[in-house]
Structure 1
Amino acid sequence: MKNKMLAIGLAAVLSVGALAGCSSPQDVSSKTELKNGLPEKYADGFTVPIINYPPYSIVDETGKVSGFDYDFAQAISDYFGVKFETKNATFEESLLGVSRGSYSWAPAASATTERKKTYSFVSYFKDGYKLVVQDSAPEIGNTTLDMCGHSIADVTGGYTLKYLQDFSKQCTDAGKSAIEIMTFPDQGAIQLAVKSGRVDAAALTLANGSYTVGKSGGLKVTGPVFAPTVECFTLKKDSDLREPMMKAMNALIENGTYDKILKKYGLEDAAIPKSEIDPDAN
């Protein structure tokens, strides 16, 4: 009887082992398909903030999201074989959300020296800035001193704030009126401030300024080009997602997906030859 019970127990163990052996290759295969170099903790997918900064991110009246940052989030997620979800945010909140771990990355930020103390970056396109004013307003000239005496809006924590502050000092050093710098939570707010006459101008990227003028009446692009920048995905400092993200972007560049996305929004001139981790600060 004892030998019979031992034989039954051994058979049960072998049966469980056989079942485990059958399921193991399928699990490994599934994980391999999913990864493409993605760390295990991201297997459930990404959460990405949407800042409603056309054409980077566009949120229509129904809440539907589009734009090239959305398209890049889709392409990157497809590359890794995971899903992604978006959440509406302001620019400042998007960076804070990365710090808190609420977001996998935040799109469209410049890798400044100051930001590099807190974040890591993966580059994905280049841009610059001009001013947007009411279409009935006088043109602003092509030098930074032509900004003197104007009130200019920027987003809270925006990349161009340091430039506007430097330009304002140049104005006062030259005996001209300072620039009045005003900050607002998002791009919609600064465009509304221009349209309502609350400020003279708003600092917008070339891509956003051109899109804004083309899509909404009453505005025009003017002034000098300033603050050239390489825009990046913002990640937690030394994030384990840096290397996989860079490789994903370079794969999209190589297979043509990158150019296809930029062309869709008329941004072919914004292309970079390769993606880098923590590019030189502006």
Structure 2
Amino acid sequence: MPITTLSRWRSTGALVIAAGVVVALAGCAAGANAGTGSGSGSSADGKVTIGAASNGAAKETTLTVAEDTKLHDALPSDVKKSGELVIGIGALPSGFPPLAYTGDDQKTLTGAEPDLGRLVAAKLGLDAQVKNSTWDNLFVGIDSGSVDVGFSNVTDTEQRKEKYDFASYREDNLAFQVLKSSDWTFDGDPSVLAGKTVAVGSGTNQEKILLEWKDQLEAAGKTLTVKYYPDTNSTKLALDSGKIDASFGPNPSIAYQNTQSAGSANPTTTAGTYSGAGGSLQGLIAATTKKDNGLVEPVQKAINELIDDGTYAKWLQAYNLSNEAVQQSEINPPGLPLDNS
């Protein structure tokens, strides 16, 4: 799923992180079951450690989740009999912090995505077994039944709903990153970009959106300068030196960069977000199951119970992703249209 540059590929819904972000963190475990050991936040007893070995991406916090026996009883018979929820993550080979990557202990698959999977498993009264693979093999696992549910930043699309069921759990957002000293904000109106210089990854969904705004502004006699840099470090240097006013990229990676820069001479912050699906639809990230296998409804109800009891908010806050919260999980909500997926 993650390759080399800050982008969100609409053909896959994948989050990809600049090489500079992952150098110190992201050597993913070679084993298929990475992240299932005692240091991984196992949910067998209802206790889940958020941010285990996350190297500062999240404040490590242990949460206790009460099993819902009715949801457990409603599980497909094979899942209930196994006593495990096999959670698929498509983070090989390099990981994508803060969502999924090998932790600083060099063995725990940590990040917001596997952590939510562990919380859901605990709510369902199951032991979490986290399987890490490549992005393509994540879907092979779901198709074959070796993976029960994917928690891997999968965008809900109409095309994917032909094969999979979805239970939404996060907004799919892009974000503008600025220096914390900046007073510029973005509220969804592209007119505030007039006269600004913004960095963006080439060939990305966010570039497509930004260039459309550039055309709109130029048609109104205004300017927007778009800049390209080879990696995250170069973009950050440009932001620090005032060569750019902002950087536009996937919200989770920018949230992670903001966390990492908090103690630096030039801390950054998020000036505003925008739906990765564009202005007419709020994009959604969703748990992914094989279509009609009976698992999506228990997963959706488990997520909603985590929302209702406050666990969900603590999970998002730990990873600085509160600006992607949903009010409730929905089964197969409107997704990215076929002509844009």
- TM-score, normalised on structure 1? 0.61
Q: 1:264 to 1:172 in 2, by over 3 A?
A: same
1:167 to 203, 213, 235: 213
2:322, 2:232 → 1: CA distance?
A: 25
| Number of residue pairs the alignment of both structures matches | 239
Deviation at 1:237, TM superposition (A): 4.1
Query: Aligned partner of 1:111: which letter?
Result: D
Q: 1:264 to 1:280 in 2, by over 3 A?
A: same
1:66 aligns to 2:110 (yes or no)? yes
Query: Aligned partner of 2:334: which letter?
Result: D
Q: Aligned residue for 1:131?
A: 176
Q: 1:115 to 1:181 in 2, by over 3 A?
A: farther
Structure having the higher Rg: 1
Give yes or no for contact 2:101–2:109 (8 Å, CA) kept in 1. yes
Q: 1:93 to 1:213 in 2, by over 3 A?
A: farther
Q: Aligned residue for 2:250?
A: 204
Is the deviation greater in 163-172 or in 248-257? 163-172
Q: Give 5+ residue unaligned stretches, structure 2.
A: 1-68, 276-281, 337-341
1:178, 1:209 → 2: CA distance?
A: 20
1:191 aligns to 2:240 (yes or no)? no
1:49 aligns to 2:95 (yes or no)? no
2:155, 2:129 → 1: CA distance?
A: 23
Tell me the secondary structure at the aligned position of residue 83 of structure 1.
Answer: strand
Tell me the secondary structure at the aligned position of residue 258 of structure 2.
Answer: helix
Q: Aligned residue for 1:279?
A: 333
Q: Aligned residue for 2:285?
A: 231
1:36 aligns to 2:73 (yes or no)? yes
1:155, 1:115 → 2: CA distance?
A: 22
2:232, 2:162 → 1: CA distance?
A: 31
Q: Aligned residue for 2:132?
A: 87
2:142, 2:215 → 1: CA distance?
A: 32
Give yes or no for contact 1:34–1:82 (8 Å, CA) kept in 2. no
Q: Aligned residue for 2:31?
A: none
Q: Aligned residue for 1:153?
A: 201
Q: 1:277 to 1:263 in 2, by over 3 A?
A: same
Q: 1:268 to 1:154 in 2, by over 3 A?
A: same
Give yes or no for contact 1:126–1:270 (8 Å, CA) kept in 2. yes
Give yes or no for contact 2:177–2:254 (8 Å, CA) kept in 1. yes
2:89, 2:112 → 1: CA distance?
A: 13
Q: Percent identity?
A: 22
Deviation at 1:258, TM superposition (A): 2.5
1:38, 1:238 → 2: CA distance?
A: 13
Tell me the secondary structure at the aligned position of residue 120 of structure 2.
Answer: helix
Q: Give 5+ residue unaligned stretches, structure 1.
A: 1-31, 183-188
Tell me the secondary structure at the aligned position of residue 177 of structure 2.
Answer: strand
Tell me the secondary structure at the aligned position of residue 127 of structure 2.
Answer: coil
Give yes or no for contact 2:114–2:151 (8 Å, CA) kept in 1. no
Deviation at 1:108, TM superposition (A): 2.6
- TM-score, normalised on structure 2? 0.53
The structure carrying a bigger helix percent of its residues is 1
Note the alpha carbon deviations across 1:15-35, whole angstroms, 9 max, x for none: xxxxxxxxxxxxxxxxx9994
